[in-house]
With several copies, the nearest count.
Chain A
């Protein structure tokens, strides 16, 4: 990525696009959550992203700082499990990134830290039918990209791993979170949180693509 200014622009554009996408899929996410949970996942994500967008509009600083601020705002406004976890993902990723250049290795490392925090907080493992099943494959795939590849290209290359991970949750039985109580009833529907992660990563892909970064 060429410069800190471009990076902050991308963070802002990403969150705006993410809000747009999630907004458009709010009902779908709610219905996925209703299948075995409480149906509020779409509304929760929209609330969180609205607050994140509003925060980065007003905030200054590096991309890392914006992300950290967005994560705090997201967590507070969203509430619920996904508020805490997606919020922590953003905050930890942002804090780890801090003022580092937004190249592929730094971003991959920061996201790895974010993922670790999500696992520490939520105590879920891959295969538990949570957002981790989309996030972990993506983070692994991103880390496996050539270090000198542009972030945009690396991101695009890693995205299918997230999609496949989310899709695979449809065949899993929930072991964590609200829907874990009655595992079998969650079979057949992909996990709402994992689905959201794909939308978020897709929005970043679009933001990076548009920037040509």
Chain B
């Protein structure tokens, strides 16, 4: 539940101000826009990766703005995509001569607004491309991958796109690599309890005690199945059974792994779960590469977690390993 606010109508504005006040060493406010940009953006000759979406998912999206990662984040209200107007303003602020890549989770509102901004920018001569993150296997069947929504897989796609941009890759190449990262990334989640929007006193949804929802969306969109709560080792198998069945056709044997907490699931629990995930990965002949167990894409104070696998090759690994600094993720 959200307890700390002044006027709920000012929530987004105040959170942006607070974020910039705290992390002014990495980001600055985009003037007259609901967004933040990296202190070193735009850089001549380098593509600017612009991410964004509704608020309520911190560190997504502003937490990933900084050198070596996203050039800017457009920030909507809680669970609402930012308007095309705001996307446009932020794009103008960070567009370099090398062009702009939009990267965001595939939701109707985000698609509508980013697409409208993209058209407007194209008309103004800014070369904008778009790669939507579609990692959530629960949201559409195989064969309809492009209809899937984006969840914690955002992180890998942003990181890889940001690293390619920072390296100086041309827009075509940054776009190709971001798309490849997305094509190699799969997530699946479980939820145990709902989240509450600022100004509301009741949660958006509830999960019955002793039960869990499989494949529930990060905004509380209903899951694909409800199950009784199970021991961690069975949850691990359930997550992996689902992901491995859906592995990309050209999957290698090295996978970047993100066990992502949605908000109020305890870190300790996630490590207990990770123990069983790791065991199973090894049993499948997969090599986990620099796993992350943390809160990387949250859903306010939802209880639950998701597992993301990103099948790596040398090209993607190099980009994942590249240095970056941001409020939420620093790599050396």
Contacts and interface: CB of A to CB of B under 8 A. Distances in A.
A and B touch in the complex (CB under 8 A): yes
Interface of A: 30, 34-40, 43-44, 47, 50, 72, 75-85, 87, 121-122, 176-182, 185
B59 to A, nearest CB: 19
A78 B83 CA distance: 7
A39 B83 contact: no
A182 B139 contact: yes
A38 B148 CA distance: 16
B221 A37 contact: yes
Contact of B140 (A44, A84, A85, A181): A181
A106 B92 CA distance: 37
B107 interface: yes
Given A79-B109, A83-B109, A122-B112, A36 B79 contact: no
Interface in B74-99: 76-86
A196 to B, nearest CB: 14
Contacts of A72: 85
B224 interface: yes
Contact of B108 (A47, A122, A185): A122
Interface in B198-223: 199-200, 204-205, 217, 219-223
A181 B139 contact: yes
A87 B77 CA distance: 16
Interface of B: 9, 54, 76-86, 107-109, 112-113, 115-116, 138-140, 147-149, 197, 199-200, 204-205, 217, 219-224
Nearest to B55: A79
B54 A80 contact: yes
Nearest to B217: A181
Given A36-B222, A79-B80, A178-B219, A121 B204 contact: no
Contacts of A40: 54, 77-80, 197, 219
A40 B139 CA distance: 20
Nearest to B215: A182
Contacts of A178: 107-109, 217, 219, 221
Contacts of B86: 76, 79
A44 B138 CA distance: 26
A84 B83 contact: yes
23 contacts: A37-B219, A38-B79, A39-B204, A39-B220, A40-B77, A40-B78, A40-B79, A43-B197, A44-B77, A79-B76, A79-B80, A80-B79, A81-B107, A81-B112, A83-B80, A84-B109, A87-B83, A122-B112, A176-B108, A178-B107, A178-B108, A182-B223, A182-B224
- Name the residue in B9, B76, B80, B113 with the highest tally of chain A Cβ atoms < 10 Å from its Cβ: B80
A200 to B, nearest CB: 18
